[in-house]
Structure 1
Amino acid sequence: MTTEHFASFDGTKLALHRVGQGRPFVLLHGLFSSAQMNWIKWGHAQRIAEQGYEVLMLDFRVHGESEAPHGPENYPAGVLVEDVVALVGHLGLTDYDLGGFSLGARTAIHGVASGRLSPKRLILGGMGVDGLQEWEKRSAFFMRVIDEFDAIPKGDPAYFSMQFLKSQGVDRVAARLLLQSMEDLDLSELAHIACPTLVVCGDEDRDNGSAQDLADQLPDATYVEVPGTHMSSVTKPDLGRAMAEWLAAARG
């Protein structure tokens, strides 16, 4: 495992973690998590690397070991897609696969649907059709967590999220700016995602709506369920195993 930093489109320094050798696979983590928390800690990246991949794990801005600038100019609409485009350009990738969980999946969908990203294969974890719409409503929950933070009492539905942000050392000023940069997706744009796609989701995960419905709306998708909720599915070996097995089968 190695870690390096590169400058994104606006000069923000982003962390890139690498493991394995072979075909490039860009892997994106969830909201207020990190490559370490989603992919490295639970062994998913290693399982995928064993299939002949170099797994390239980005820490989004405001996450993990990447910078968290406070300037509004550092958070244009679709900023996370721009960061992934910058990573692909930095590495000179022209033939690669792409995957993400939750926010990472959402970002990948926006990037591929818009034509900004062109992977040969795509993996979408922990994402359903609801997670692509009504972002203002969804972000309001996290805005409250950011604004009230230590005042949120135990037993409140937001308490666990507050504790998670605290454990990850999330910069709340930058987090608020980031939340305001995200846009909804017109579901008709899903038809633009023509590459073979795996939609994988926990059997108790309803956080982003129906993952099965998302798979049904994609031109060439396979749907796989693994054990767990939105938070627990990423901690179980089944997720990484499902991703690695699908990639191996898709490559033939």
Structure 2
Amino acid sequence: MPSFHNGAVEIAYLDEGEGDPIVLVHGFASSKNVNWVYPTWVSDLRKDGRRVIALDNRGHGDSAKLYDPAQYAIPEMASDVVALMDHLGIPRADVMGYSLGGRIAANIALTSPQRMRSAIFGGIGMAMIEGGGPGENVALALEAPSLDDVADPVGRTFRAFADQTRSDRLALAACMRGSRGLMSREDAGRITVPVLIAVGTTDEVAGPAAALGALIPGAEVLDIPNRDHMRAVGDKVYKAGVIDFLSRRP
């Protein structure tokens, strides 16, 4: 698996296919494989004639594990994505992020719009602005001696997932604490790149998609029917909507 360094931080990535580049940014406690390879996003986007790049966020997958929450601030994580584009010599790309990855993509859209042809925010709506969802309860669950010591139901879900994927739980706890920064309504209104917001209709983590769409000029909203936060990732409606959006963006 190829990797590069953004400063002292080693970032693992994949780079497959040919055509217009799209960079995929996974969600918290996931990885490029779990979020994008196994649900066939990489192969489906390649079949659509695209070059697909996906990274393991810092603290995740095969990338470097860090234990200082400050190293997981959203701008820091966004810098890994831009540095990967620089490493590969890609001046502009479509960028799709899911959940935490959507928050990272939104930061790039705000601070480096010249690097994006479009942005796709999957699994994230008004939680990007108002917060909510997993928090300190998840960090504490990840730090607990075992799953049996976790009573909080949301914490148990994330702890079980981290155990299943053999993730570095302490790195994930630091990431959870460091990546909670929110975007203001005013900054959302300053995003100028074409945006698609795709959220499952039963997603209780992301927050309302339409409310976020109303803040971002020209944003499109895609409702993924009867899907929650976890099950929306590989949904066929989501995939078809993204491919349609990419075919229409300037």
Q: Judge conservation of contact 2:74–2:103 (CA < 8 Å) in 1.
A: no
Structure 2 gap ranges (5+): none
- Number of corresponding residues: 247
Q: How does 1:138-217 map to 2 (within 5 A)?
A: 138-148=134-144, 149-152=146-149, 156-182=153-179, 183-217=181-215
Q: Judge conservation of contact 2:199–2:206 (CA < 8 Å) in 1.
A: no
Q: Kindly tell me: are residues 34 and 117 of structure 1, through their superposed partners in 2, closer, same or farther at Cα, counting changes over 3 Å?
A: farther
> Which amino acid in 2 is paired with 1:111?
I
Give, in angstroms, the shift of residue 142 of structure 1: 1.5
> Which amino acid in 2 is paired with 1:218?
I
Percent identity, aligned pairs only, is: 25
> Which amino acid in 2 is paired with 1:118?
R
TM-score, length basis structure 2: 0.89
Q: How does 1:104-115 map to 2 (within 5 A)?
A: 104-115=101-112
SS in 1 for 2:153: coil
Q: Kindly tell me: are residues 249 and 142 of structure 1, through their superposed partners in 2, closer, same or farther at Cα, counting changes over 3 Å?
A: same
CA–CA distance in 2 between the matches of 1:157 and 1:87?
Answer: 32
Give, in angstroms, the shift of residue 35 of structure 1: 1.1
Q: How does 1:43-122 map to 2 (within 5 A)?
A: 43-70=40-67, 74-75=71-72, 78-115=75-112, 118-122=115-119
Structure 1 gap ranges (5+): none
CA–CA distance in 2 between the matches of 1:72 and 1:140?
Answer: 12
CA–CA distance in 2 between the matches of 1:175 and 1:103?
Answer: 12
Q: Judge conservation of contact 2:74–2:104 (CA < 8 Å) in 1.
A: no
Q: Compare 205-214 and 77-86 and name the one that shifted more.
A: 77-86
Counterpart in the other structure of 2:249: 250
Give, in angstroms, the shift of residue 7 of structure 1: 0.7
> Which amino acid in 1 is paired with 2:11?
L
> Which amino acid in 2 is paired with 1:244?
I
Q: Judge conservation of contact 2:4–2:12 (CA < 8 Å) in 1.
A: yes
CA–CA distance in 2 between the matches of 1:71 and 1:127?
Answer: 25
Q: Compare 126-135 and 60-69 and name the one that shifted more.
A: 126-135
Question: Structure 1 residue aligned with 2:19, among 13, 22, 34?
Answer: 22
Question: Structure 2 residue aligned with 1:39, among 36, 41, 45?
Answer: 36
Counterpart in the other structure of 1:6: 4
Pairwise CA RMSD: 2.2
Q: Judge conservation of contact 2:142–2:158 (CA < 8 Å) in 1.
A: no
> Which amino acid in 2 is paired with 1:199?
I
Q: Judge conservation of contact 2:4–2:11 (CA < 8 Å) in 1.
A: yes
